[in-house]
Amino acid sequence: MTENTPLTQDNTEDMEIRTLELGGLAGTFGTADHKNLGRLYILFGLSGGFLSLILHLLVRLERINIGETSILDFGSSNQYFQTWSLSRTSLLFFCVVPLILGLATYLMPLQIGAPSIAFPRAAAAAFWAWLVGILIHVVTVFSDGGLGVPEPLTQFAQGMDPEATELSILSIAMVAIAVLLASITLIATVVTQRPEGMTLFELPLFSWSVLVATGVWVLAMPVWLGNLMISWVDFRGADALRYGNVANIWGQLSWLWSQPMIFAFAIPVLGIAGEIIPVAASKAQRQYTIQQIGIGALGVLSFGAFAQPFFNADVSDQAVFVGMGLLVILPVLVFLGGLADTLVKGKPKFSAHLVLALISMVALLVGTTLSAIHVSGPAIGAIREIDSDWLSGLINWLTDLQGTVIATAVMEHALISSLIASIAGLYYWSPKIFGKRMNNGIGVLAGLSLLGGLLLSAGSNLINGFLDEGDAVYLATSNSGVWNQDAVEFLNVIGFIGSILLIGGVSLVLLDLMISIFLGKGSNEDVDNPWDGHTLEWATASPPPTGNFDEPPVVNSERPLLEVGGGSE
Amino acid sequence: MNLRTTDLPVAPAVRGRTPLVATGFAVAAMIMYFAGVFGVYLKERAQVRSEGLPWIPNKATIELTQPGMVIWTLLISIVVMQWAVYSIKRDDRQHALLGIGTTLVMGAMVVVQTAWHLSQTNLIADEGPTTAATLIFTIVGSYLVAVIIGMIILLLTGFRTMAGQYGSKQTDGVVAASLYWYSLVFIYFIIWIAVYIAK
């Protein structure tokens, strides 16, 4: 890592002299400017979102059967499993994580009044390592690699390539290391680059949420990386015993997509909504510290490195896991309550980013509610003596939900709420990021499409979970315990429509980016501070110049622009 | 209303200690990595033993001579690295460089001894792969990677010290390198106890 030289009045001039502006490919590949890196993350993240939702749709198609035949036949259970697992890895690592990192890399230095991100070259290295890693991963999965196979007997029997599998493991490890490196640069930025007067309690909510989220990632993802390395070492051995046995690889890694860990990737939803809603309502957020505590509590409750069913099969019955699953709803409720108070007392102005922010909050609230339902069986069993048949039946029924597609519904809510929040952030900060506004109407339409898609997709998984459809949908046995097969088939059709709507929503955003930003049709009127924002990123030009600020600001509250009359209340 | 930063009052310089904070979080990540792998190791070892089976294959031999040498090398390297920190705080770059260079050599000794030791354990040669072999190779192999990263950091810190970047007014880089090195010693201590001594 290299050191970041603080920008002071004395060296501002030097910095301008040292800066070599490069355009074109040289500028793109050689950039260490956090703004360029942020834009690159966002563009690739949206494209990755499109790919992952296409895979999501293919999996949905496979789940629809007409008679005994599936509409889409992958040819082998291996290929179905690869598509299914890639839809998850890409939704997380090729869409949600880069979108969060992109917004954070672009905005966090601006929000805290810093001239740059800490360790800009490390941040650039993290971006390129992430991009190369995720692209290699996608290519290797399509080349008969992937993170394992569904059943032991299918190992390499149906066209699975051991070398491609090895490369899949190593490439996703490279992605994890890149995400860790990017997270550390963001944490170092917010901890050490804040201006005088800005304590952690005065951090803008988005920056605070990214600090909490990346803090959880830095503590939990190395454990996941350890799982990967154990699998790889065993896989490389002459005769993979357990961890490297391809039937076991995904089982060791799946906890990253399960509760409570999956909510660590939804923490920035609170931060983005917490930035947008008070500004849209032209009202300063009250109880700011409680909002920060809410975000911190969600971080604590989403630390899931201990919840690895592969090594601890009983974890879903254990008090800590159940308690975290039940409590995770509370910080979201508290935070939403604070935002509702601001909305009610303010004068909300209708905008795409407001609609999208509200949708993302509601989606996250539903996701945490489903999490509570998911773990409630053992909880009720633990706190009440079972003295009646109906209660015993209810507990058994709720406990049985744990192996069903409700887990997928929880994951969809957590990750897609994060995707929607990132899109909300994109609409809100597009004047700052691109120097042009995105189209309000298209944004609202995209938000409604994403909401509809999530409701249908996750909703159908929820009901299918109650009907006992197994979460491992790639196994032939996933339907063996289903109560009503026709209902499951019908709901899978509904889920398929939901997948189309999700793709439609992301496509609209990409289309809007193309029209408003790249074709230059978006308005560039009043882009410096179009929404009367409260935080420091709005106190500089759009897009900001090299060094971000003419002079480092002094901050004495979490809403510095309101203090000096820059925002509106 | 639009607002430029020129409307805001001027601030003093931003806070420092960036390398130290980043290294602190990197060390936290590394400790979590090894904690996760050790968690698997201890759980699997307990499971195998509960079935009455030997954890380390019968024909494998884990001598304690080399790990003992490594732990002493690392313990001495703490003193030497701290000497480098002490020196840089007093603008004594010559001794700081000596300390960093000596620690670097000790790191190379750790790599050589550990790699040679692994090659002598006979963990997989006779009985084929075992769970224990997989986990020991993962833990020790990861540790070697961490030591090599530490040596690269030391090398860069040494070059920067030589170039005059670090001195009594800016010790962060050397202190950060020492923090990383001390964490390596701590992790090896756990490996020494859990893998080599307790077997």
pLDDT in tens, A424-480: 999 999 999 999 999 999 999 999 999 999 999 999 999 988 888 887 777 777 777
Query: Which of A369, A216, A367 has its CA nearest to residue A296?
Result: A216
Q: What is residue A203's predicted lDDT score, i.e. its pLDDT?
A: 92
Taking CA atoms, A435 is separated from A116, A149, A493, A503, A552, in Å, by: 19, 47, 41, 26, 22
B6 close contact with A: CB closer than 8 A: yes
> Are B102 and B157 within 8 A, CB to CB?
no
* Model pLDDT, residue A400: 75
> Measured between CA atoms, how close is B40 to chain A, in angstroms?
7
- What's the confidence (pLDDT) of residue A414? 95
Spatial separation of the C-alpha atoms in residues A297 and A344, rounded to whole Å: 25
Predicted local distance difference test score (pLDDT) of residue A152: 63
What is the rounded distance in angstroms from the CA atom of residue A121 to the CA atom of residue A29?
A: 12
Q: What is the ipTM of this complex?
A: 0.90
Q: Is the pLDDT of residue A549 over 70?
A: yes
d(CA A352, CA A360): 12
| Span between the terminal Cα atoms of chain B, in Å | 69
What does the pLDDT read at residue A452? 96
Q: Does B1 sit within 8 Å of A551, measured CB to CB?
A: no
Residue A6: predicted pLDDT: 45
Distance between CA A6 and CA A388 in Å, rounded?
68
**pLDDT band at A318; cut points 50, 70, 90:** confident
Whether residue B135 and residue A230 make contact (CB cut-off 8 A), yes or no, is: yes
Distance, CA of B137 to CA of A68 (rounded, Å): 47
Chain A residues within 8 A of B17 when measuring between CB atoms: 192
**pLDDT attached to residue A563:** 64
Stretch 10-49 of chain B: residues touching chain A, C-beta under 8 Å: 10-19, 21-22, 25-26, 28-30, 32-37, 39-40, 43
pLDDT of residue B7: 52
pLDDT at residue B150, rounded to an integer: 97
Instruction: Label residue A397 by pLDDT band (50, 70, 90).
Output: confident
Give me chain A's average pLDDT, please: 87
Mutate to test the interface with A, among B7, B17, B20, B25 (most CBs of A within 10 A): B25
Summarize the confidence of residues A177-190 as an average pLDDT: 96
Looking at residues A560-567, what average pLDDT do you find? 64
Instruction: Tell me the residues of chain B between 126 and 185 that have a Cβ less than 8 Å away from chain A.
Output: 128-131, 133-135, 137-138, 141-142, 172-173
- Whole-number pLDDT of residue A560: 77
Residue A40: per-residue pLDDT = 94
Nearest to B181 by CA among B142, B140, B146: B146
Choose among B3, B30, B137: nearest Cβ to A561: B3
CATH of A29-563, one of 1.10.443.10, 1.20.210.10, 3.40.50.1010, 3.40.50.620: 1.20.210.10
Q: Measure the CA–CA gap between A563 and A561, rounded to whole angstroms.
A: 5
What is the distance in angstroms between the Cα of B73 and the nearest Cα belonging to chain A?
A: 26
Put simply, the answer to whether A554 touches B11 (Cβ < 8 Å) is yes
A495 has a pLDDT exceeding 90:
yes
- pLDDT at residue A315 is higher than 90: no
Q: Quick one: closest CA in B to A311, which residue?
A: B40
Q: If you average pLDDT over residues A37-60, what whole number do you get?
A: 94
Give the pLDDT of residue A3. 42
Give the mean pLDDT of A240-252: 83
CA atoms in the 13 A half-sphere facing the CB of A340: 8
Interchain CB contact of B54 with A (< 8 Å): no
The reported pLDDT for the residue numbered A486 is 84
Using the predicted structure, report yes or no on whether residue A516 has a pLDDT greater than 60: yes
* Interface touch A238/B128, C-beta < 8 Å: yes
d(CA B138, nearest CA chain A) in Å: 6
- How large is the greatest C-alpha to C-alpha distance in chain B, in angstroms? 78
For residue A182, pLDDT beyond 90: yes
Instruction: Please state the pTM of the whole predicted model.
Output: 0.91
Q: Which domains does chain B have, with CATH numbers?
A: 70-199 (1.20.120.80)
Selected residue with higher pLDDT from A356 and A31: A356
Res B37: pLDDT: 96
Interchain CB distance below 8 Å, A551 and B29: no
d(CA A251, nearest CA chain B) in Å: 14
For each of chain B's 199 residues, which pLDDT tens digit applies?
444 544 555 444 445 689 999 999 999 999 999 999 999 999 999 998 998 888 888 778 888 899 999 999 999 999 999 999 999 999 898 999 999 999 999 999 999 999 999 888 877 766 666 888 889 999 999 999 999 999 999 999 999 888 888 888 888 899 999 999 999 999 999 999 999 998 7
Chain A nearest CA to B160, separation (Å): 11
pLDDT, position A245 = 83
Higher pLDDT, A66 or B95: B95
Kind plus residue range of the DSSP H or E element containing B34: helix B18-50
Nearest 10 degrees: Cα torsion A214, A215, A219, A224: -10
**Most trustworthy range by pLDDT among A217-231, A383-397, A457-471:** A217-231
Q: Please, which pLDDT band fits residue A150 given cuts at 50, 70 and 90?
A: confident
Q: What percent of chain A has pLDDT over 70?
A: 89
B contacts of A3 (beta carbons < 8 Å): 18-19, 172-173
pLDDT value for A18: 44
The pLDDT score that the predictor gives to residue A569 is: 56
